[in-house]
Amino acid sequence: MALEEKYVIEAALLSSDEPLKVQDLMSLFEGISSAQVKILIDQLNAEYKNRCIEIVEVSSGYRISTKKEVNEILIPLWELKPQKLSRAMYETIALIAYRQPITRGEIEEIRGVSVSANIIKNLFEKEWIKVVGHKDTLGKPALLATTAKFLDSFNLKKISDLPPLEEIEEMFTSYDSETESESIETKDHSAHQVH
């Protein structure tokens, strides 16, 4: 039986534990270009239109995953129920993602509260963060950054695919202490909200 190239790609993606790069897929065939591999992937995705799976490109390559719509139906079958992450966890990983590399102390400074050891441990256990070096200050604190696995977990290809941060408005730095209410009025035009 002659095996169709796109179905070999499908089998390759399905048999791999990790996402596969275009180069990995190219190595399966002789004389195939990366553009051709991408066309085959598009063809497969078109075939998956009515199905509950799809091919997604993430940071470490291509992988097949279930579509969101089918998830709720499948949850009862999962041994591990999806766990809800705490707000503290989201804020911590968001800081590491947007401000990397960052130390734990810097995270605490911005959040205004201490970061529990459990949150950091948990993020390491998920392999969402890694130590990329040590800051040359007192105590040589570890500099934390996100991993490819973090991006993979959110179906992202690169850090810049994260939704952009909202801009921070500049504040007038001079003020008049005696006439606070006046100065508030004159500055009112700039006091619209940031959302």
Partner 1 sequence: MLLNEDQLKTHPADSDHIAIVNGQAVEQLPSDLYIPPQALKVFLQSFEGPLDLLLYLIRYRDLSILEIPIFEISNQYVQYIELMSELELELAGEYLLMAATLAEIKSRMLLPKVVTDEGVEEDPRADLVRRLQEYEQIKNAAETLETLPQIGRDFLAVHAYSNRVIVMPPIETSIALLCKAYQEVLLRVEQYNPHQFFSEPLSVRERMTLILDKLQQSSGKVSFSELIDQEEGRAGVVVTFLATLDLIKSLAINVYQVKPFECIYLSMKQN
**Would you tell me which residues interact with a second copy (CB under 8 A)?**
1, 3-4, 7-8, 10-12, 14-18, 20, 24, 27-28, 50-53, 64, 66-67, 69-70, 73-74, 76-81, 86-88, 112-113, 117-118, 121-122, 124-125, 127, 130-134, 145, 147-149, 176-177, 180-181, 183-185
* Sequence-distant (≥ 6) Cβ neighbours of residue 143 within 8 angstroms: 100, 101, 102, 103, 131, 132, 133, 134, 135
3-class DSSP assignment, residue 177: coil
The interface with partner 1 within residues 13-72 (CB under 8 A) comprises 14-17, 19, 53, 56, 63-68, 71
Specify the residue, 161 or 176, whose C-beta has the smaller distance to a second copy.
Answer: 176
171 counts as binding partner 1 under rule CB under 8 A: yes
**Between residue 79 and residue 118, which ones bind partner 1 under the rule CB under 8 A?**
79-85, 87-88, 90-91, 93-95, 97-101, 110-114, 117
In the bound state with partner 1, the residue whose beta carbon lies nearer, of 50 and 83, is 83
What is the C-alpha to C-alpha distance for residues 69 and 172, in angstroms, rounded to an integer?
A: 48
Count CA atoms within 13 Å of residue 158 on its CB side: 1
What backbone phi and psi angles, to 5 degrees, belong to 65? -135, 165
4 to 1, 7, 8, 34, 139: CA distances (angstroms): 9, 5, 6, 17, 58
50 binds, among partner 1, a second copy, none (CB under 5 to 8 A by kind): a second copy
